[in-house]
Amino acid sequence: MNIGILSRNPELYSTKRLVEACELRNHTIQIIDHSKCDLVMEKKQPQVLYHGEYLNDFDAIIPRIGASVTFFGSAVIRQFEMMKTFSVTDSQALLRSRDKLRSLQLLAREGLGMPKTVFTNYSKHTDEIIDSVGGAPLVIKFLEGTQGIGVVLAENKKAAESVLAAFNGLKARVIVQEFIKECKGTDIRAFVVDGEVVGAMRRKAQPGEFRSNLHLGATAEIVTLTRSQKSAALKAAKAMGLHVAGVDMLPSSKGPLILEVNSSPGLQGIETSTGVDIAGKIIEFIERNARKRRKKISA
Ligand code: ADP
Ligand code: MG
């Protein structure tokens, strides 16, 4: 098959591993910097132009879209979808996953557990907001933050009030969330590929830090999920419409609490800590689906 990886950096571990996994299975692979694609629209003839060439013979694409290019990246994926190219990540699912509010609304509807969360239209009733998530300490998050940036712990009521007032003043959209103390800076990342948890790790934040993002220096180790954690991860990925997903959750006495579902989850931490060939699993998923789709088209 002819596979395209949408990635802005060929040197990233995840990109390199996906290339390796493709080559091992004798697929042709090309890395496309999606930020340099031009989208051409014309009656019944959508095209993607890249360095003067039309990209119309991919069987499948693997989007690895960074948070700073979500809008343009999703438009590129959508263009490939219009061209009937199989995409590992749907454009809509990518957009959904990048908005923490929209994601939590969907996950709540599906009956998934989550830290209690409040979103308001820059409400000045900070007292009520703080009370509704059980008081301070509490967590405040930018709607579109990632890698732990934009996630703030307000340790007491005064801090919570001033941080909320500051964000409101800047017209920055945030959610306010109950702080789950009992997890003590650890969370769980479950990696889902095609309706199966293919690997899971427990991430531990650096001392003095509550955010367990690997980008912030957290460490990771393999973990065996409980039945309810596994089922929550699969349900969350499904609710978001993601075939490949990194589901972040906090274990708690009330069961797993979902934080977010990542649509371009990194491979380095999870492959290193679990020893599983996750890049290979993603390529096998493509093999099962892109072929099926081709058959459907020719039938
Ligand atoms: P990001 O998209 O920036 O990764 P997350 O919502 O996943 O944002 O939060 C980053 C990290 O902060 C989580 O992995 C977790 O360790 C910690 N965290 C987030 N929300 C809470 C919470 N409500 N209670 C306790 N820890 C939290
Ligand atoms: Mg996260």
Q: What is the mean pLDDT of each run of 10 residues along the chain (299 residues)?
A: 97 98 97 97 93 96 95 98 96 95 96 96 91 96 85 95 92 94 93 98 95 93 98 98 98 95 97 98 96 61
Q: What is the dotted CATH code of the domain comprising 2-89?
A: 3.40.50.20
Q: Write phi, then psi, for 245 (nearest 5 degrees).
A: -150, 150
Cα angle 238, 2, 48 (rounded to 5 degrees) comes to 80
Please confirm whether the linkage preceding 137 is cis (ω < 30° from 0).
yes
User: Which residues have any ligand 1 atom within 6 Å of their CB?
Assistant: 115, 139, 141, 145-148, 151, 177-180, 183, 187, 210-213, 248, 250, 259-260
E-only strand ranges, 156-272: 174-178, 186-193, 196-204, 219-222, 244-250, 257-262
Locus of tokens 């830090």: 209
The C-alpha R_g of the chain, in whole angstroms, comes to 20
Q: For position 123, what pLDDT does the model report?
A: 87
Q: How far apart are CA 4 and CA 63, in angstroms?
A: 8
CATH class of 117-179: alpha beta
Q: Closest-lying ligand to the alpha carbon of 265?
A: 2
Q: Whose CA is nearest to atom 25 of ligand 1?
A: 180
Q: Closest-lying ligand to the alpha carbon of 211?
A: 1
From ligand 1's centre to the CA of 177, what distance in Å?
10
From ligand 1's centre to the CA of 64, what distance in Å?
21
pLDDT tens-digit map of 100-109:
999 999 999 9
From ligand 1's centre to the CA of 255, what distance in Å?
16
- Domain residue extents for the chain: 2-89, 117-179, 182-263
Superfamily for 182-263?
Answer: ATP-grasp fold, B domain (3.30.470.20)
Beta strands at 60-63 and 2-6: parallel, antiparallel or unpaired: parallel
